Amino acid sequence: MKLGLPIILTIASLAATADARSLKPEQEALIKPDGKAVSCIPISQIRSSRVRDDSTIDFYMNNRKVYRNKLPSRCPSLGFQERFSYATSISQLCSTDIITVLFSNPNFMPGASCGLGQFQPVTGAPK
């Protein structure tokens, strides 16, 4: 019996501006939960992502929803580098997946690998 190899997707989140880091307290206060947290989000619906700090990533979806992922532990250099990659063999990004920080050198050298948390839908997250 011949088994097909799983397709592995790797996507890098590249921050477009320097303001991608932590929000000001008054901006953070505007972000509110908007429903129950989910374990997975469809990769095909992710429009962009924004690294907020070493343990927070906002995922902006095609349908205008925003999912905030609070990593269970701090991921060293994530907030400074503001870019990461992930690999998955399914069409969803899940809380069981691992991200890897990418350093902004000529070769995008990999840094720390860290687990994701639940995806909490939120309102009020600025781009």
**17 is a domain residue:** no
| Cα distance between residue 93 and residue 86, in whole Å | 9
Query: Is 70 exceeded by the pLDDT of residue 14?
Result: no
pLDDT for the residue 21: 58
Give the model's confidence band at 12: pLDDT under 50 very low, under 70 low, under 90 confident, else very high: very low
Whether 15 is in a domain gets the answer: no
Residue at 66 is within a domain: yes
pLDDT (0 to 100) of residue 58: 96
User: Phi-psi category of 103—alpha, beta or left, where left has phi over 0 and alpha has psi -120 to 50?
Assistant: beta
What is the per-residue pLDDT across 31-81, written as a single tens digit (0 to 9) for each? 888 899 999 999 999 999 999 999 999 999 999 999 999 999 999 999 999
Q: What angle (nearest 5°) sits at the alpha carbon of residue 43, between those of residues 127 and 20?
A: 25
Model confidence pLDDT, tens digit, residues 69-123:
999 999 999 999 999 999 999 999 999 999 999 998 878 899 999 999 999 999 9
Report yes or no: 76 and 101 within 8 Å, Cβ to Cβ: yes
Structural domain count of the chain:
1
Q: What is the pTM of this model?
A: 0.80
Residue span of the structural domain in which 69 resides: 25-123
